[in-house]
Amino acid sequence: MMRLPTWPQAWNRQQRSSATVAVASAVLVLLLWLMATPLAWAPEPIGNNAQSFAEGTRITVQLTLIAGLSGILIGVIAALGRTSRAIGLRWIASFYIWVVRGTPLLVQILFVFLALPTLVPVLRLDDFSSACVALAFNVGAYNAEAIRAGLLAVPKGQMEAARSLGLSRWYTFLDVSFPQAFKVALPPLVNNTVALLKDSSLAYAIGVVELTNVGNRIQAATFQPLPTLITTALIYLVLTTVTTQISGAVERYYDVEGRQP
C-alpha cells in the first residue's frame, strides 16, 4: 500500500523544486546575457563571431518561449474540442491534429510564411512571427493529445461528485478535472517543450537569424564547418540541459502523491 507523504515532506520537496527552478532559470538568464564573453576567448572563427552566436541563441530562446506558451494554450483548446460533446468541435479539433501531426514541420513553417499571405492577404507576417505561429500550432497538436489523455485519466466519479455538490460544469473543469489532467500530462508536455527548442532550428529556412542560421552563415563565410557546428551543437546541448532541469523540477513540484523522492 502506497504511503502518502507527510506535510513536511511535501513542503520540503516543493522547496527543493522551487530552488532548482530558480537556480536553473538564473543560469539560463546569465547564459543569454554573458555568453559572448567566454566565446570571445575561443579560437577563430568562433571568437570574432561570439556576439552573433549570442544573438542567435537569444532568438532561439525567444522562439521556444513564445511558441511553447502559445502551444500549451492551443493544446488545451484542441483537447477540449476533442473531448467535446459537439460533433462539429470534435471534427475540427481532430482534423487540426491529424493535419499537423501528419505533415513535416518544415512544410508548415514554409506554408505559414509563403502560402498563408496568399490565402489571407491581410495576414502578412514577418519571418519571426511566421516561425512562432508555425511552431506554436505544431507543438499545440502534440500537446492536445497529451492533455486529452490527462482529461480521460480523471475518474468520472470525481466530476459527478463535484456536480452533485452544486459546482457548475466550468468550475468542475477548473477545480477538479484540469488540475489532475495537467499533472498527468506534464511529462509529455515537458518533452514537447524540449523538442520544440531543437525544432526551432528549422526557422532558418525562412531567414530567421536563430542559432542554426548563425552557424550556417559563419561556416559558409569561413569554410570552417567543424568548429562552427561543434559550437552550435554545444550551445544547444547547454540549452536543453538547463531546460530539462527546469522542467524536471516543475514535475517534482507538482508530484503531490509523493512518487518522487
Residue 130 has pLDDT above 90, yes or no: yes
Spatial contact of 180 and 203, defined as CB atoms under 8 Å apart = no
Is the model's pLDDT at 204 over the cut of 70?
yes
Q: Which of 9-18, 101-110, 121-130, 185-194 has the highest mean pLDDT?
A: 101-110
pLDDT of residue 144: 96
Beta carbons within 10 angstroms of residue 141's beta carbon? 22
Q: Could you please report the per-residue DSSP string of 113-131?
A: IIIHHHHSTT----HHHHH
Question: Looking at the predicted structure, is the pLDDT value of residue 16 above 90?
Answer: no
Per-residue confidence (pLDDT) for residue 177, from 0 to 100: 84
Alpha helix stretches (DSSP H) within 103-201: 105-110, 116-119, 127-153, 156-164, 169-172, 178-199
Q: pTM here?
A: 0.86
How far is Cα 3 from Cα 5, in angstroms, rounded to an integer? 6
Degrees to nearest 5, angle at CA 95 with 92 and 98 = 150
pLDDT of 176-199, one tens digit each?
888 888 888 888 998 898 899 999
Instruction: Mention the CATH class of domain 52-253.
Output: mainly alpha
pLDDT score recorded for residue 4: 47
Cell (9 digits) for 183: 499533472
The answer, yes or no, to whether residue 243 has pLDDT greater than 70, is: yes
Q: Is residue 209 very low, low, confident or very high in pLDDT (cuts 50, 70, 90)?
A: very high
Say how far apart CA 188 and CA 183 lie, in whole Å.
10
Cell representation of residue 112: 505559414
**236, three cell numbers:** 544547444
* Domain range list for the chain: 52-253
Closest by CA to 200, choosing from 75, 96, 106, 74, is 106
Indicate whether 240 pLDDT > 60.
yes
Find out whether 214 and 53 touch, Cβ atoms under 8 Å: yes
Three cell numbers at 143?
500537446
Q: What 3-state DSSP class applies to 132?
A: helix
pLDDT of residue 7: 44
Q: Which element (helix H / strand E) includes 68?
A: helix 50-82
- Phi/psi of residue 243, nearest 5 degrees: -60, -40
Q: Return the top range by mean pLDDT from 66-75, 112-121, 155-164.
A: 66-75
Q: Which residue has the higher pLDDT, 209 or 167?
A: 209
Decide which of 89 and 162 is more confident: 89
8-state DSSP, 4? P
Region 117-136: mean pLDDT is 91
Helix axes 211-222, 50-82, angle to 10 degrees: 140
Q: Give 25's Cβ-side CA count (13 Å radius).
A: 10
State whether residue 82 is helix, strand or coil: helix
Which pLDDT score is estimated for 256? Answer: 43
